[in-house]
Amino acid sequence: MNKMPGEGFLKTKDVMKPEMIGKEVMLRGWVYRKRHIGAKIFIVLRDSEGIIQCLVVKNEVDEKTWEEAEKITRESSFMVKGIVREDPRAPGGYELKVTWLRIVGLSDVFPIRGGEGIDYLLDKRHLWIRSRKLTAIMKIKHSVLKAAREYLVRNGWWEVTPPIITASACEGGATLFEMKYFDRKAYLSQSAQLYLEALIFSLEKVWSLTPSFRAEKSRTRRHLAEYWHLELEGAWYHMEDMMKVSEELVSYIVKRVLEERSEELEFLKRDKVMLERALEIPYPRIKYDEAIEILQRKGFRIEWGEDLGADEERALTEEFETPFFITHFPKQIKAFYMKLDPQRPDVVLGFDMLAPEGYGEIIGGSEREDSYEKLLQRIHELGLDPKEYEWYLDLRRYGSVPHSGFGLGVERLVMWISGIDHIRDTIPFPRFRERVYP
C-alpha cells in the first residue's frame, strides 16, 4: 500500500450498509472534519457520495499511519483502509476502524471555516463548491437534466445544437450582451428559439439545452446573467398542445428527482410533500385578466397592460399549491413573434408557468405567428429592422405551419425543486451584475 492502487476503492455509500459490517475496505476522498482526542483521531472522510467517520487509534496502527493521521488537515486528500463498524454516534450510523492511512495531497489551512459572508464565499466559490449543500444541489440539477432528456427522447423530440452567437435579438436589444465578431457586431444569445423554429421544417419536434445570456441590471434572488436554457419548438403544435408538453415535462422531472435524490432533498430540508403535489397534471390555468384582478384584490397598484414583476408573481403563487399557468398576456408586454389571439387581437397566445411557494416563472412559451404579413407588421410596430429578420421571415414564406414552443430556465426550476432561497447556488460559478470571478 505504498503507492496508490488502481482499483479496489469503494465509495462511502457502498460501505454504509449492514452487509458490509466487519469487512475490510479501502476508501479515498478528502477530510471533511477532524478531531484529535488523546490517543484517538476522528477523521470524517468526504467523497462524491457522502461522508463516513474514520477512527484511528494510536496503539492499533503502525507508526506511519499515526503520523499521517496527526499531520492531516481539513480538505487534505487521502487514502484509507479499515474495518466497517456500526456506530449510532457516527454520521450516518457507520464508522471505519482504520488500519492504514496515507495522505495524497496535504491541504494548507482551508480559508472557509464557517460563518463567512456571501461575498466572501462567492470570491472563494472554487473552494465553496465542495460544500455538502452545493454538492446536493448539483446532484439534483444532474437529475433534472437527465430526466428532461429522458422525457424528450421517449416522446420523439430531436436534440439539436443552435448557436449562441447571434446577429440579431430574439426579444429586443435592451438586455443583450454586445460583442465584436471579427469585423462586425454580434450578440450573445438570449434564446435559441428562432433557430429552433428553422429546424422544425425538417425535424418537426426539436429541443436544445444551451447557455443563454441576459444583460439585466437586476441583482435579485432569481436573476443570472448566464444560465442554462432548455427550449422546445414543435411544428403543428398550438398553444394548448405546448402547455400540455410543458406540464408533462415538469411533472416527469419532479417525479424522477423524488426517486433519485431523496437523500439530497432531505439534507436540504426540502418539503417533499410540496413537490409531490406537482406530480398531478393538468396544472391550473388562469388568464392574465384574472391575474390582474387577483393582484388588485390583494392591494397591488397594477393596471391591465402592465408586466408582472417578482412581487406580483410571488403574490399569485400564494393562490396555488402546484405549478400553474398564466395565459393570454397583452401584446405590448410580449415578444413580436407571439401569435395574436384571433378572438381578441390585443392579447397573445402566450403562457407562463409559475412555480408555487413564491418562486414564480420557470417557463415562458407561446404559439408563434405563422403568417408572413402579420409577423412583418409586428416587426414594424415594435420598431425592429426587418432586414435583421429576413431569414426568420423566410420561414413564413416557404411552407409555414402552425407551431409553438417554450423556454425553461433550468436554474429557476432547480431552485424551486431544491427549495433554496437564491438562484446563485443552482450553478457552479454564478454570473450576474458586477461578478465574473472566479
Is residue 2 over pLDDT 90? no
Contact in structure between 67 and 80 (CB atoms under 8 Å): no
Proportion of the chain above pLDDT 70, given as a percent: 97
- For residues 218 and 188, the answer to whether their CB atoms sit within 8 Å is no
Mean pLDDT, rounded, of the chain: 95
- Residue 172's alpha-carbon distances to 193, 214, 279, 334, 398, in angstroms, are 13, 11, 35, 10, 25
Lowest mean pLDDT among 135-144, 168-177, 343-352, 410-419: 168-177
Per-residue confidence (pLDDT) for residue 6, from 0 to 100: 47
Residue 212 near residue 190 (C-beta atoms within 8 A): yes
Instruction: Find all residues with CB under 8 Å of 83, minimum gap 6, and list them.
Output: 22, 23, 24, 25, 96, 97, 99
Mean pLDDT over 90-119 rounds to 96
What pTM did the predictor assign? 0.94
CA dihedral 287, 291, 297, 301 (to 10 degrees): -130
Residue 35 vs residues 91, 107, 130, 283: alpha-carbon distances, Å: 14, 16, 20, 51
Mean pLDDT of the region 266-277: 97
Mean pLDDT on 268-289? 98
**Rounded to an integer, what distance in angstroms lies between the CA atom of residue 348 and that of residue 342?**
9
**Do 232 and 148 touch, CB atoms closer than 8 A?**
no
Q: What is the structure's pLDDT at 432? A: 82
358: closest CA among 417, 321, 318, 326?
Answer: 318
Considering the segment(s) 122-426 as one domain, its CATH architecture is 2-Layer Sandwich (3.30)
Query: How far are the Cα atoms of 184, 294, 304, 321 from residue 301, in angstroms, in the given order?
Result: 44, 11, 10, 25
Domain with CATH 2.40.50.140 in the chain: 12-105
Q: Average the pLDDT over each of 20-29, 143-152, 299-308, 425-434 and give the range with the smallest value.
A: 425-434
pLDDT at 414: 98
Q: What is the percent of the chain with per-residue pLDDT over 90, rounded to a whole number? A: 92
Over the stretch 257-269, which tens digit does the pLDDT of each residue have? 999 999 999 999 9
- The predicted pLDDT at position 162 comes to 97
Q: State the Cα angle at 143 between 140 and 145, rounded to 5°.
A: 110
Region 61-67: mean pLDDT is 98
Q: Can you tell me the mean pLDDT for 308-320?
A: 97
Task: Of 437, 434, 432, give the one whose Cα is nearest residue 422.
Answer: 432
Distance between CA atoms of residues 437 and 429, nearest Å: 8
Fold category of 12-105 in CATH: OB fold (Dihydrolipoamide Acetyltransferase, E2P) (2.40.50)
For the chain, state the CA radius of gyration. Answer: 26
Which residues sit opposite 405 in a β-bridge?
Answer: 233, 366
**How many whole angstroms separate alpha carbon 99 and alpha carbon 55?**
9
Is pLDDT above 60 for 5?
A: no
What is the location of CATH 3.30.930.10 in the chain?
122-426
Counting every residue written for the chain, the total comes to 438
Q: Please check the confidence at residue 4 and state whether its pLDDT lies above 70.
A: no
pLDDT of the residue at 352: 98
- Answer yes or no: is pLDDT of 190 > 50: yes
Task: Please indicate whether residue 168 or residue 220 has the higher confidence score (pLDDT).
Answer: 220
